[in-house]
Amino acid sequence: MASSQHSRKPSTRAPLPRRTTKGPLDALADPLSIPASSTPSPTLPAGSQPTLLPQEDLLETVSQSQEATAQPPGPIDEPTTEERDLSFLLDASIYHPLSQLEIPGPFRRPFLPPPTSDTIAQSLEQLDTLLSQCEFLRAAQFAGSILTSGTLRSTDSKTVFRLLAIRYSCLELSGNVLLAAQEAKALEDLSSSFYYEDPPSEKPDGEDAEETHAVPHHIMPFALRLQALRLQSIGFSDPRRGVTSLYDVAFECRRHLSASSTSSDERKAWSERLYEVSIRVVNALIEMGDLDCASRTLESMKQIGHVKQAIWTTRMVLLLLKMGDVAHAHALAESSELQAQEKSAIKSLIAIGEGDYDEAAKALLGGEAGVDPAVRALVGQNLAVAHLYKGEVRRSREILQELVNEGYSFQALTVNLATIYDLSSDKSRDLKMSMVSHVAEQKRDTGHSRSFSNADFKL
């Protein structure tokens, strides 16, 4: 066990005081105007559902934040001054051996050999190359090899955490989420004092310690921390653990927002992080099946600005459709100030949800002109699905095959075309293998990279 191979660093820092709030995901409009108190944080009683009430003041604070569809909030420069012994994360027994049996033959490439002390720098460059080529399974295997090669210093937390992030992400992208979830359990309790570092004290003599006390920061990169929390909730088969862990992270974000030592740039970054945590909470609630609470939480996160409002509206419409509330989804799409192309795409999804496939096809065809080619390909794929539901299998097959011949091979496209082959031909396997060869040849010729598995072609 990992716990027997390392010891925790005793902490001398003061515990994080938590304040009574209307909701842990609500950022403060003016973090410095409300003093902190030592009120204990609310906990979720057994068998109860976490409920977040809509809060208006969240809109002001996160109105400058990035959309959650973009990269996670940028890192805050918090150099680790105290070394941590991470040798428990370099144990080979943690990492599962990987196989390429689930990779179609034309896409298989040999795994790279483990690095040596003389080639560690070159190995890290090779890992970046694998990532740029979307060779996710090979990158996951190679990241694990580097971690267990004995060439890393156990106190090099920056490199260890970077390799862990690559390992987990590539396992997820290659369809091995359960393996990543089991491996993330080795991190143990991410809220323990071992993962926190006390900031340097800058308090002048005689000044009130409560006003100048800086908040301890977590040594793990924020994106990796959120990813690990979700994986641990999967690995321990405890979705509530994931939600409560995100609540704790949200309280920590609020603590940084209200600290007087937080600069304006840092406060903006922490606001973005708080919004990112909020989106993760919505996702976790959806995975738990608590769609009502997810809807209320997402409702409280409506942002200002056309681009952000369009993203929020799309998310809300999709969630309402998943809940079966088609009427509310339709009313939201009509009332929102979306561009014609955005509204057309949303209305087509609503029409499919209502079973009106003729209207869906009409909406999709009307929104193709002037659209980015990649978006047009996605619209064409949705149009093919609408034709399939109308019983026009031949027309659907023609549209999807045309998209593949044009060089597109995203997962929904290949899966849907493979499904139509299963429905329309006795030689579906031969047709799917032909599609695999065609896509592999396109990948070599165009340089467009994507990770493929047998499931992408229903093999």
Tell me the per-residue pLDDT of 158-168, one tens digit each, with 9 for 90 and over: 999 999 999 99
- At 427 the three-state DSSP class reads coil
The structure's pTM equals 0.79
- Compute how many other C-beta atoms are within 10 angstroms of the C-beta atom of residue 446: 10
Q: Which of 21-25, 146-150, 256-260, 342-346 has the highest mean pLDDT?
A: 146-150
Tell me the β-bridge partners of 218.
196
Angle between helices 326-335 and 306-323 (to 10 degrees): 170
Q: Where are the domains of the chain?
A: 76-199+214-220
Give me the mean pLDDT over the 156-179 stretch: 95
Burial class (CB in 10 A: 0-12, 13-18, 19+), 77: exposed
* Contact predicate 253/277, CB 8 Å: yes
More confident residue, 226 or 119: 226
Burial of 457 (0-12, 13-18, 19+ CB in 10 A): buried
Q: Which of the residue ranges 5-14, 326-335, 412-421 has the most confident prediction, judged by mean pLDDT?
A: 412-421
Q: What is the mean pLDDT of residues 317-323?
A: 91
| 351-389: pLDDT as tens digits | 887 888 888 888 777 655 556 777 788 888 888 988 898
The string of pLDDT tens digits covering residues 396-411 is: 999 999 999 988 999 9
**Beta-carbon contacts of residue 147 (< 8 Å; ≥ 6 apart):** 89, 90, 95, 160, 163, 164, 167
pLDDT at 201: 61
